Amino acid sequence: MKTLKSNPRRDGYRMPAEFEPHRGTLMTYPYRSDVWRLDGVPAQDNYIEVAAAIARFEPVFIAVPPHLFEEASARYHVPNVTFIPLESDDAWMRDNGPTFVTNDEMRLRGVDWEFNAWGGDFDGLYKPWDKDDAMAEAILKIWDVDRYRTKGFVLEGGSIHVDGQGLALVTESCLLSPGRNPHLGKNEITNMLKKYLNVKKVIWIPYGVYDDNTNGHIDNIACFVAPGHVLIAMFDDPHDPQFAMSNASYEALTKARGVDGKKLKITKMIFPDKLIYSTQEESCTVDEVATAIDRPAYKRLVASYMNFYCCNGGIIMPAFGQPSDEKAKAILQNLFPEREIIPIYSREILLGGGNIHCITQQIPKGLANDEN
C-alpha cells in the first residue's frame, strides 16, 4: 500500500456503483456497551446473520477488535465469513471503511476519508474516534491497495451514493452540517466529490430520515438502483415530519438532471407501516457514559427499507416485522428481478442507529497491487 498524493479523477479511477460486481464485503464487529445493549451480544448475532446472508453470494471479512477475536472465532463458524483482528471504536464499516475506486484495467484503489464519528466535537456520537479513523488504512494495507487520504476533508461512506456512470447523490443536511467541513461551501464539497469519486455531477437533496443522528445520510433515504435511476422512500402521513422531508427531497430529484441532461428516473419506496420505538428494556441495558450519546427509551428509531445492501446476486434487506416488509420486498424484487431478495429482521442493528447498508462496505471486483 502506498499513499498517493493525487486523486482518483486525475488517475482515471472511479467509484463503481454498489450494484456492479463485488470482490467481497467488509464489516466490523459491534461490541461497545455504550452503543449496543447487553455488551453487544444481541447485535453480534444480528450482524453475523447479515454476514451469513451476504456470504451466500460473496466472501465477507469482519474486523473484530483483537480482544474479542478469539471469542468471536470460537462462537461463529460461518462458511465464507472471515474475522480479522483490527481495532475499532464502533461498527459501521460503511462510514469509516475505504471507498474503493477502480480504473479501466480493473485495478483497485481506496479513498480514506477523514472520519470524525458523525460530527466530531460539534455533534459526534462518541469520542475518541481515532481507531475508526485508522480502519480504512488498515484494510487497504492488508489488501495491498493504494490509498488516497483526504486529510482535512471529513466524509462517511453512508453519506454518498453513486450510479457508476457519473452521478453522485448526497443530502444537504449531512454534508453541509457544521460537524463535517464547515470551512467549505457547497461548491467546494461538490468539487471534492467530483475529484475523489470521479463523478461528473453531484445531485443534492435536502433531507434524509427524520432524527437520524448521522445528520441524515443519503443511504437511509435514497439510492441509485441503476444508472440515472433513483429509489427514494416516501412517507404517507402528512402530519409526520418525514412527509415534508421526503417530499422536499423528491421534489429536488424531479428537478435534477443526469449527465446527459435528461431527467432522472425516480421510483418510490415505502416506509414501515408503523413507527418503531426503543423500549425501556432495550435502553436500560446500554451503558451510560459521558463520552457517547445516550440511548433513551421510547425513542423513534430510523427504520427505513432503503438501508438494504446490494451484493453479487442478492439484496440483503432490513425487515421490521410488519406487513410492509412484504411490500418493500416486492418493490425491490421488481427493480432487481435477477437478484434474490433476503429480508433480515435487524432490530438490534437498528437500535444502534443504522441498518444493513450502514454496516457493510463493498470491495468492488478488481485487482490489488501484486495481482494480475
List the catalytic residues.
Answer: 358
In eight-state DSSP terms, residue 220 is G
Note whether 287 binds its own copies by CB under 8 A: no
The whole-angstrom separation of Cα 350 and Cα 301 is 7
Note whether 77 binds its own copies by CB under 8 A: yes
C-alpha cell at 116: 470524525
Stretch near its own copies under the rule CB under 8 A, chosen from 77-85, 182-190, 244-252, 274-282 = 77-85
Note whether 84 binds its own copies by CB under 8 A: yes
Among 33, 41, 80, 150, binds its own copies (CB under 8 A): 80
Q: Which is nearer to its own copies, 55 or 223 (CB)?
A: 55
Minimum Å gap between C-beta 39 and its own copies is 13
CB neighbours (10 Å) of residue 188?
A: 12
The whole-angstrom separation of Cα 21 and Cα 102 is 12
Stretch near its own copies under the rule CB under 8 A, chosen from 88-96, 137-145, 222-230, 324-332 = 137-145
Four-CA torsion 208, 299, 179, 221, nearest 10 degrees: -10
Note whether 113 binds its own copies by CB under 8 A: no
Among 21, 69, 106, 229, binds its own copies (CB under 8 A): 69
Q: Name the nearest CA neighbour of 243 among 206, 210, 205, 203.
A: 210
The whole-angstrom separation of Cα 347 and Cα 328 is 17
Distances 349 to 1, 43, 46 between C-alpha atoms, Å: 32, 6, 7
The whole-angstrom separation of Cα 288 and Cα 33 is 9
Site string for its own copies, 352-371 (x = CB under 8 A): ----------------x-x-
Residues of 226-249 as b/e, b for ≥16 C-beta within 10 angstroms? Answer: bbbbbbbbebeeeeeebbebbeeb
Q: Residue 87: which region, alpha, beta or left (left: phi > 0; alpha: psi -120 to 50)?
A: beta
Q: Find the angle CA(237)-CA(239)-CA(242) to the nearest 5 degrees.
A: 70
Among 2, 45, 66, 188, binds its own copies (CB under 8 A): 66
The whole-angstrom separation of Cα 272 and Cα 96 is 28
The whole-angstrom separation of Cα 132 and Cα 3 is 18
Q: Which is nearer to its own copies, 24 or 272 (CB)?
A: 24
Minimum Å gap between C-beta 77 and its own copies is 5
Q: Which is nearer to its own copies, 139 or 230 (CB)?
A: 139
Note whether 141 binds its own copies by CB under 8 A: yes
Residues numbered 17-56 forming contacts with its own copies, rule: CB under 8 A: 24
Among 41, 134, 142, 276, binds its own copies (CB under 8 A): 142
Q: Which is nearer to its own copies, 253 or 368 (CB)?
A: 368
With beta carbons less than 8 A apart as the criterion, state whether 326 and 302 touch: no
Note whether 73 binds its own copies by CB under 8 A: yes
Q: Which is nearer to its own copies, 85 or 120 (CB)?
A: 85
Note whether 82 binds its own copies by CB under 8 A: yes
Q: Which is nearer to its own copies, 47 or 61 (CB)?
A: 61
Among 13, 57, 118, 143, binds its own copies (CB under 8 A): 143
Which residues of this protein are in contact with its own copies, per CB under 8 A?
Answer: 24, 59, 61, 66-67, 69-70, 73-74, 77, 79-80, 82-85, 141-144, 368, 370
